[in-house]
Chains A and B, each alone.
Chain A
C-alpha cells in the first residue's frame, strides 16, 4: 500500500477543510480506484462523527446559578445603576428634585448679606436698616434682602422684604404692594413666583 501515505494526508486535509480543488480531485479519483483507502476514509469520517456527537455531555442544571453564587460580590455602584435603569421615571423625578431644592436651599443659605435694589436716594445704616428719607420718592420696585426697611418718604412701586421687617414707625407711602418673606417656604414660593413671572414676561415681550 504505497499509495496510502500521501492519500491519508489528503484525507486529513479534507477533514480540516484545507483541501484545494486540485487535491480534492486527486483524492476523489484515487478513492474510486482504491478500496483500502476508501475504507480508511470511511473510518475517519465515522470517527469524526462519533467525536462530534457530544450532545449528551451537558453542564448540570443550576450550573449558571452555582457559578453566579460563587462570584465575588459586584460593586454596589453597579447595582444602584441597574436599579435606576429599571426605574427611569423615578430617577428623572429624583434628579429634578435634587437639583431644584438643591439650588434653592443653597441660594437661601448663602444669602445672609444685605442686598438692596440699587437706588442712590436710599440710606443704608450699619444695623442693616434701609431708610427711604423724607421727601424722596423711589421710582420702581424695591427689594431688600436680610435687612429692615423704614420708609419716611414714598415708594412708587412694590416693596418686597426678605428676612427683614417693615418698620412702620412713620407714615411712609407705598403706591404698590408690600410683601414680607421670612419663612423658608415663603422664600421658595417667592422664587417660584418670581421665576414664573420672568418666564411670562419673556413670552409676552
Chain B
C-alpha cells in the first residue's frame, strides 16, 4: 500500500489530478476521523478534512517523497484543525450543549440513504457520549488521542506530526487515557 501511495504521489507531483483522487479516496476516512476527534462536529470535520486535502495538493511540491505521506498529511490536518479551534467564536459551544441533551444530532446528520438498524442507535449514542467526553479534554490532548487511536500511530510518529517531543506525547497520552478512563468507566 505504501508503495502504491508513493507512486501516486509522484504522479501528483507531476500535476496529475486523477492520481490525487485515489490518494483522497484512500485517506479520506482517517483524515476525517482525526479532524472529527479534535473538533467534535461532523460538518466542521468535513470542511477541515477537505481543506487539508486541498492544501496537501497545492503544497505537494514541498513534500519529501522519501518520508511517509500519511505523517505529512496528518500534520496538515491537525494544524488546520487546531488553528480553527483557536479562531473559533464562542457560539459554537451552544451547539455542543444541544448535542449533549438529546444525542440525536449525529443521528439526524447521517446521510438519509444509509441503512440504520435499530440496535445501532445505542452504539451511536455511546459514540456521541465518548466524543463528548473527549471534547472535555484540552485540544492538545485531543490531537494526540486522535492520532493515537484513529490510525494507531506510534509515539514517534505522533511526535513528528505534532512537532512535539516524544516525552510530551507520552505524558499526554497517559493523562488523556487516564482522564477518559474515569469518565468512561460507567459506560
Contact = CB atoms under 8 A, between A and B. Distances in A.
Do A and B pair up? The answer is yes
Nearest to B180: A47
B1 interface: no
Nearest to A70: B54
Query: Chain A at the B interface: mostly helix, strand, loop or mixed?
Result: helix
A78 interface: yes
B177 A58 contact: no
A3 interface: no
A-B pairs, 3 with minimum CB distance: A59-B32, A59-B28, A51-B149
Contacts of A48: 149, 177
A16 interface: yes
Interface stretch (A60-68, A105-113, A151-159, A162-170): A60-68
A75 interface: yes
Contacts of A16: 155, 170, 173
A44 B32 contact: no
Contacts, number: 107
Query: Chain B at the A interface: mostly helix, strand, loop or mixed?
Result: helix
Which bucket holds chain A's interface residue count?
A: 35 or more
Contacts of B155: 16, 18
Which bucket holds chain B's interface residue count?
A: 35 or more
A8 B177 CA distance: 11
Interface string A32-64: 000000001001101110111110111111011
B57 interface: yes
Interface in B66-122: 111
Contact of A67 (B50, B127, B178, B187): B50
A59 B17 contact: no
Interface in A12-26: 12, 15-16, 18
Could you say which of A18, A48, A53, A58 has the most chain B C-beta atoms within 10 Å of its C-beta? A58
A78 B124 CA distance: 44
B49 interface: yes
